[in-house]
């Protein structure tokens, strides 16, 4: 019950952000596939990710199955780039405050993944709580220098797990 309440709270916060984005870019809904494009774009974004895409799809009245697929594809698209490039980017940003912020975020969360390995990565991405998701999971996997292919597969399973949980909740 406690986990359900946390997920519902996260969903409420995400819903506010999604509504703001839909209000700002609502003009896209008038063009062919504009609603689907909005769902895709929202699913690409850090913080909102898959959860935001599924919420946007529900708010836009889209069919669940195509929305589910669009959200998963949108959420997964940036992951290979993060896994391959984030360490190089972080190395160049070490003198910047954002790198310190990312390092703190990784340090705070990495214990969960280190303890359980790839299964921990699946759970970290798959349980839709604040601060978890494919973006953060990818960042942590990269910083921990986990195998990129195995990490991507673990993140994929986690995204599918999160999508199923979110479909039931929303």
Tokens 């799809």 map to which residue?
Answer: 57
Q: What is the pLDDT of residue 102?
A: 72
Instruction: Tell me the C-alpha distance between 32 and 39, whole Å.
Output: 13
Distances (CA, A) of 82 to 85, 134, 145, 163: 5, 10, 12, 20
Can you say how many angstroms the Cα of residue 86 is from the centroid of all Cα atoms in its chain? 16
Half-sphere exposure of 68 (CA within 13 A, CB side): 13
10-residue mean pLDDT series, the chain (170 residues): 66 74 74 88 90 89 92 96 90 72 74 86 89 89 93 96 83
């Amino acid at each position: 019950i406690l986990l359900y309440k946390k997920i519902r709270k996260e969903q409420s916060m995400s819903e506010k952000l999604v509504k703001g984005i839909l209000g700002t870019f609502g003009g896209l809904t008038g063009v062919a596939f504009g609603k689907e494009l909005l769902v895709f774009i929202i699913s690409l974004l850090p913080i909102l990710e898959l959860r935001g895409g599924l919420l946007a799809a529900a708010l836009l009245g889209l069919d669940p199955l195509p929305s589910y697929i669009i959200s998963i594809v949108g959420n997964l698209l940036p992951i290979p780039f993060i896994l391959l490039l984030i360490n190089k980017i972080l190395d160049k940003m070490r003198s910047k405050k954002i790198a310190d912020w990312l390092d703190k975020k990784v340090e705070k969360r990495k214990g969960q993944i280190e303890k359980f390995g790839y299964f921990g990565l699946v759970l970290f991405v798959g349980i839709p709580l604040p601060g978890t998701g494919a973006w953060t999971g990818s960042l942590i996997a990269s910083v921990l220098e986990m195998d990129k292919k195995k990490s991507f597969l673990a993140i994929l399973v986690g995204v599918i797990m999160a999508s199923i949980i979110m479909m039931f909740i929303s």
